[in-house]
Amino acid sequence: MSPKITTELLKQLRQVMKNPKYVQEPVQAYIVPSGDAHQSEYIAPCDCRRAFISGFDGSAGTAIVTEQHAAMWTDGRYFLQAAHQMDNNWTLMKMGLKDTPTQEDWLVSVLPEGSKVGVDPFIIPADQWKRMSKVLRSAGHDLVPVKENLIDTIWADCPQRPCKPLITLDLSYTGVSWRDKIVALRSKMAERKVMWFVVTALDEVAWLFNLRGSDVEYNPVFFAYAVIGMNTIRLFIDGDRMMDPPVREHLQLDSTLEPEFRIQVMPYGSILSELQAVGAGLSPKEKVWLSDKASYALTEAIPKAYRYLTPYTPICIAKAVKNAAETEGMRRAHIKDAVALCELFNWLEKEVPKGTVTEIIAADKAEEFRSQQKDFVELSFATISSTGPNGAIIHYKPVPETNRTLSVNEIYLLDSGAQYKDGTTDVTRTMHFGTPSAYEKECFTYVLKGHIAVSAAIFPNGTKGHLLDSFARSALWDCGLDYLHGTGHGVGSFLNVHEGPCGISYKTFADEPLEAGMIVSDEPGYYEDGSFGIRIENVVLVIPAETKYNFKNRGSLTFEPLTLVPIQTKMIDVNLLSEKECNWVNEYHQKCREVVGAELERQGRHEALRWLLRETEPLARVQ
């Protein structure tokens, strides 16, 4: 990796920062955040403005360019990568280290008095604007919205915003029609006494209308906004795709519907002016509901007194609780995914000893097996295929420069998943194709104990996921080991592989309580820098539990694994497992045999079936 040379680009950017064509007054600093106008985790190439200006293309980072300086804030996952990808024009600001200033504090320290700091108001979330603006103002500076994105003005070959065809999902996939979702949303709006709801997150628009797209890699979403009133529905979306007959029929665009279900289709770019018109026409007590993470531009369109902001929207919360059709779809998707992985691991077991399988080849092979399954759409994220020391890099993705050959001497970690039309998968298995050391087995077994502790946990209705995080760590902690990431995230139903509002992490506190029908991952790990990485990840469904006393009728919850892929018994030190844990593994493997075995049989995949049966032999605990 050689760094991107940015001298010329920075010169151009500094020129437009003073160019009255783009800025009312010159700005002395310009902020380039990571995200897009929807605060998406995964973004389209046209939104990779921070990567364009700096060369650093990790998933998180904020660039700030002043007349003299160019600085990049990113977190521990990316210190090395950012240092490699950026040239000497850039200063790396290592977030999380004690001496690293915040962006605001740094700006205050370098700016001449009375400076203007510019930012694209569509890209910066309102809550972040508020925080920065406050600090800057108290130091005599101003944060100002710059309407035209200054990066776009100097980005000659900026890719087009994608505008790919839409997929319509019928009731057999979604369980609830878009009309019924609108009805439910309006009832939530009535409860909170709001008249309008603005849908800004891409997965929320997709979920609400039972549509999917492919504008962003890995996430089956499309660029759109929606504004739902008590009697109106406005969908802001571009392209011919709205002329597609199945889409028109799905949305009933050409039927004479009751007025409150008639969808007005409007250009994507008209959201701001339309919302400003809504804002201008509000009578007292008419509130507009927005996510507090919506962009500053859209939030400002509504006068402050009329805004109703919440961290999680009612769509986000409804989307998280999967109905029977979605749950069944997720089950089917996970069975197909397990078939693909049984094929893969059987193949790896034969091929790895030959010394010809690299991390990239293994990842490609996993995709090949998955793509053979019914309703496969694409991967759900970039496959983490890592062996030996690469396994200790938590967000590793093999590239030619780092690509390592799998061997019988190193642990192999595969974290991968796919989008099927009926569900989204995300599974991690850690395998050894030779003989693991006692230490590797010990660490693996602690991780497994943590995985089981969460998966088998019983807890009262209303418990937040973050309260379960320590269960995953207890066995590791007892020996002085830990892992520096959360234990689980919400998973969408043929939607984003990471979604709110629930999860299992020591880092969050504002997560919504778990309830039956929610789907999260359970993925503790252990990482030994320079040596190996271990992670065991299942996607699990929150289900009601049976308990002796049932929390005085408050109700009990537990998890059911949807992922049904064998956990390599070769890696387990059985003597470190309790009887209960041993039984959990054996019952889990029995279920893999029954459910995935039947599907392998049905698909005529006999060799993979033999592999599955061999890998799911019951553990025998020495008493």
Least distance in angstroms from the C-beta of 509 to its own copies: 4
**Tokens 């994105």 found at:** 149
Burial category of 113 from C-beta neighbours within 10 Å (exposed 0-12, middle 13-18, buried 19 and up): exposed
In which element (H, E) is residue 131 found?
Answer: helix 126-138
Tokens of 438: 């006692």
Strand partners, 609: none
Q: Is 55 left (phi over 0), alpha (psi -120 to 50) or beta?
A: left
Q: Which is nearer to its own copies, 226 or 288 (CB)?
A: 288
Question: Which CB, 430 or 556, lies closer to its own copies?
Answer: 556
When asked if residue 308 is in the footprint of its own copies (CB under 8 A), the reply is no
Q: Give me Rg for the CA atoms of the chain.
A: 26
Other residues' Cβ atoms within 10 Å of the Cβ of residue 546: 8
- Report if residue 95 touches its own copies, rule: CB under 8 A: no
In the complex, least distance from residue 190 CB atom to its own copies, rounded to whole angstroms: 15
- Shortest gap between Cβ of 166 and its own copies (angstroms)? 39
Q: Which is nearer to its own copies, 111 or 251 (CB)?
A: 111
CB 324 within 8 A of CB 404: no
336: its two tokens: 């197909």
Q: Quick one: which segment of 36-44, 83-91, 351-359, 547-555 binds its own copies (CB under 8 A)?
A: 547-555
- Here the contacts of 268-273 (C-beta below 8 Å, separation 24 or greater) are 268/223, 268/224, 268/225, 268/236, 268/237, 268/238, 269/236, 269/238, 270/236, 271/225, 271/227, 271/236, 271/298, 272/297, 272/298, 272/301
Give the one residue of 85, 430, 556, 563 binding its own copies; rule: CB under 8 A: 556
Closer residue to its own copies in complex, CB, 281/530: 530
Is residue 544 involved in binding its own copies (CB under 8 A)? no
One of 59, 81, 232, 550 touching its own copies (CB under 8 A): 550
Give the count of residues interacting with its own copies (CB under 8 A): 30
- Output the smallest distance, CB 98 to its own copies, in A: 11
- Give the contacts of 462 (CB within 8 A, at least 6 positions apart): 513, 554
Is 97 a residue that touches its own copies (CB under 8 A)? no
Which residue, 547 or 583, is less far from its own copies as judged by CB? 547
**Quick one: which segment of 264-272, 331-339, 491-499, 545-553 binds its own copies (CB under 8 A)?**
545-553
Closest CA to 322 of 334, 305, 310, 311: 334
**Least distance (Å) from its own copies to the CB of residue 65?**
26
The correct pick among 156, 243, 305, 438 for binding its own copies (CB under 8 A) is 305
For residue 234, the minimal CB distance to its own copies (Å) is: 27
Encoded tokens for 210: 């039972």
Q: Give CB contacts under 8 A, 24+ apart, made by 472-475.
A: 472/504, 472/522, 472/524, 473/524, 474/449, 474/450, 475/446, 475/449, 475/450
Least Å distance, CB 125 to its own copies, is 20
Contact letters (x/-) for its own copies, 479-498, by CB under 8 A?
xxxx----------------
Binding mask 500-539 for its own copies (x = CB under 8 A): ------x--x------------------------------
Site for its own copies in 347-386 (CB under 8 A): none
Question: Of these, 24, 100, 138, 356, which contacts its own copies (CB under 8 A)?
Answer: 138
Sheet order of strands, 427-432 included:
384-387, 411-416, 427-432
Q: Does 304 bind its own copies (CB under 8 A)?
A: yes
User: How far is Cα 169 from Cα 67, in angstroms, rounded to an integer?
Assistant: 50
Binding mask 443-482 for its own copies (x = CB under 8 A): --------------xxxx---x--xxxxx-xx--xxxxxx
- Smallest gap from Cβ 139 to its own copies, in A, equals 8
Interface residues with its own copies (CB under 8 A) are 138, 304-305, 457-460, 464, 467-471, 473-474, 477-482, 506, 509, 547-551, 554, 556
